[in-house]
Amino acid sequence: MLRIGSKPLLVVAVVAVGALGIWAGWRAVFDPYDSAKGVRGVPEFDGRPLSFALKRLGKPVRDFEFTIAQVDPCKMLRADLMSMEPPVPEDQPIREVTWERRHTFITVWYRGTGPQALGFNGVQWSKRIDTWAEPMSTRPAATRPLR
């Protein structure tokens, strides 16, 4: 029988704390949003509000608002928004939010603005893809950064 102060209870507590520490360390080292070696979709954000992404990823590094009409069809990542199903109307406000990890960026696009806006596309891409870094770090023409 286990009693408070008994050695078996102390051993169980030490093992539990150790296991929790190992699990937390594993999660910190193997962040699933820091390991992409190229590009991958992040469908876990589709249909979810921005608050969901903020809880998972923290504070974003970039936050832009624009419309499909302002997207340059020659600039990758955003050009994919022009071929979404169902199509995004040209005057539909889109909010683009980007988070940074050590080796990757995570960008999620939201239809509309405000708390009702839901994610409709997202991608995680390696920082080594230089051809995307410059266009994705600047907002499309005639847009303004969100506050």
Distance CA 58, CA 86 (A): 29
Q: Mean pLDDT throughout 107-126?
A: 85
Exposure on the CB side of residue 41, measured as CA atoms within 13 A: 8
| pTM for the full predicted model | 0.71
In this structure, the number of other CB atoms found within 10 A of the CB of residue 146 comes to 14
pLDDT band per the 50, 70, 90 thresholds, residue 103: confident
Cis preceding linkage at 49, omega within 30: no
Residue 34: which of 139, 105, 133 has the closest Cα?
A: 105
Q: Mean pLDDT throughout 124-136?
A: 72
Q: What's the length of the chain?
A: 147
